[in-house]
């Protein structure tokens, strides 16, 4: 299946949060008020005003008392979206998939406040949220308007390290393969691409997935 893909190389992520802020700025989303809870991650999770979040996790290793894991998270734009399967059971055309694979929530999602919890739970990563401002279920829309205009999504454009990449399937999968080989060489054979057959946001990680993000 062709179309557009993200590739996230966690080995290059410095947690600068440029992607998170660029998303906020492009979407004109307000800040989410939070309290300090013992982490540099902010906010605690994705929400109606936060479509991309850089997760910070700390775990000890054999060599170090603390190792930081960074994981920039947003909708994976699944090839068979579980959220769409759930919503299609309630109403048709509330979630559509465009010609390059972006999974898009239409204004029909405004009718589904009562089902918002079930829709969130249907996503393997608990990505969508109810927006009090927009009064609908919301999530990343792949910046489809920018992509249609020949631009990169705002988050990918902002990444200064080559961690967050976006493009056509063939070029992204080639890049992912090259970076995986480089990571395995650097990290003693460790490295994998997550969910490569199922999603349009491919993650390269070099340790167990549960260290990067809470298991949904």
Binding site for ligand SF4 (CB under 6 A): 13-19, 22-23, 26, 51-52, 54, 72, 74-78, 81-83, 103, 123, 125, 127-128, 139-143, 153-155, 158-159, 161, 163-164
**Residue 90 token pair:** 């309630």
* Cβ proximity to ligand SF4, 145 vs 189, nearer residue: 145
* Cβ proximity to ligand SF4, 62 vs 131, nearer residue: 131
Sequence-separated (6 or more) residues with CB below 8 Å from residue 62: none
Measured over the CA atoms of residue 168, residue 170, residue 172 and residue 175, the dihedral's sign is negative
DSSP H/E element including 13 = none
First to last CA, the chain: 27
Nearest approach, Cβ of residue 159 and ligand SF4 (Å):
3
How far apart CA 26 and CA 104 sit, in angstroms, is 17
Nearest approach, Cβ of residue 66 and ligand SF4 (Å):
19
Nearest approach, Cβ of residue 111 and ligand SF4 (Å):
18
Nearest approach, Cβ of residue 81 and ligand SF4 (Å):
4
* Cβ proximity to ligand SF4, 123 vs 183, nearer residue: 123
* Cβ proximity to ligand SF4, 62 vs 139, nearer residue: 139
Q: Strand runs (DSSP E) across 118-205, as ranges?
A: 129-131, 136-138, 164-168, 192-194, 201-205
DSSP H/E element including 70 = strand 67-73
* Cβ proximity to ligand SF4, 65 vs 195, nearer residue: 195
Nearest approach, Cβ of residue 142 and ligand SF4 (Å):
5
């Amino acid at each position: 299946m062709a179309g557009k893909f993200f590739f996230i190389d966690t080995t290059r992520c410095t947690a600068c949060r440029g992607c998170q802020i660029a998303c906020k700025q492009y979407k004109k989303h307000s800040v989410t008020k939070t309290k300090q809870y013992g982490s540099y991650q902010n906010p605690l999770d994705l929400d109606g005003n936060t479509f991309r979040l850089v997760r910070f996790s700390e775990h000890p290793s054999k060599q170090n008392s603390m190792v930081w894991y960074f994981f920039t998270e947003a909708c994976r734009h699944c090839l068979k979206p579980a959220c769409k399967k759930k919503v299609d059971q309630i109403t048709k055309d509330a979630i559509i998939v465009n010609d390059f694979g972006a999974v898009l929530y239409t204004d029909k999602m405004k009718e589904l406040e009562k089902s918002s919890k079930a829709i969130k739970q249907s996503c393997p990563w608990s990505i969508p949220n109810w927006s009090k401002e927009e009064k609908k279920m919301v999530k990343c829309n792949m910046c489809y308007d920018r992509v249609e205009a020949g631009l990169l999504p705002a988050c990918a454009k902002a990444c200064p390290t080559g961690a967050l990449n976006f493009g056509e399937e063939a070029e992204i999968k080639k890049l992912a393969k090259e970076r995986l080989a480089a990571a395995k060489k650097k990290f003693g054979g460790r490295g994998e691409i997550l969910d490569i057959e199922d999603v349009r946001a491919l993650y390269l990680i070099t340790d167990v997935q549960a260290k990067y993000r809470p298991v949904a």
